[in-house]
Structure 1
Amino acid sequence: MKFIEITAKRDGFRRCGMRHSTKTSRHKANTFTPEDLEILKNEPQLIVVETNGEDETSEAEPKAEPKAEPKAEPKAEPKAEPKAEPKAEPKAEPKNKGKK
């Protein structure tokens, strides 16, 4: 069975009495008259591709997006032990304390 896949360059673009999306929509080839198909193909705001497919997707139903694989969470690194701060050395008192 033949299909027409239509993708608009701008979401919501209208042509031939139909709203087109930036997500590709697949339509049965007999959805459009030959005149409408020619108008759609010549419209610079639309990307129109004729395909042969065995998929029985209903009219105007967008193709399913492939599901993204879940990303593995990064492994947590072991927490380092807090470093002990060096002890402050007592200040030496001046040798001449109290003497003038």
Structure 2
Amino acid sequence: MTVSVVKVHIGTLSDFPLQLGKTVEAGTLELAVFQTSNKQFKAIENRCPHKGGVLAEGMVSGNHVFCPMHDWKIDLSSGNVQAPDHGCVKTYETFVEGDNVFILLPS
């Protein structure tokens, strides 16, 4: 089964400071987008699975974001919450073309 995706422009490189989150709306989705310290872009759903904390406001360390409400540590690549906590957020593929940042969303 082939899943169809759509490429959505979410900003330019200068819109995303290193190691800070930014809330981005893409269609009906609210995403947290991060440029990690190694300049990779990561996009996840913007609500912590625990109590709904806004993940774009969390502290970024390496490839993880810490929920600003209760400090849950979430992997930006897999969306998995680090043990002993448990849960997962959806992740979305991102890529850069020139100065533009895009996300792939199911259509």
User: What TM-score bracket applies, with the shorter chain setting the length?
Assistant: under 0.3
Which is higher, the Rg of structure 1 or of structure 2?
1
> Please, what TM-score do these two structures have when normalized by structure 1?
0.27
Q: Which has the higher helix share?
A: 1
Q: Which has the higher strand share?
A: 2
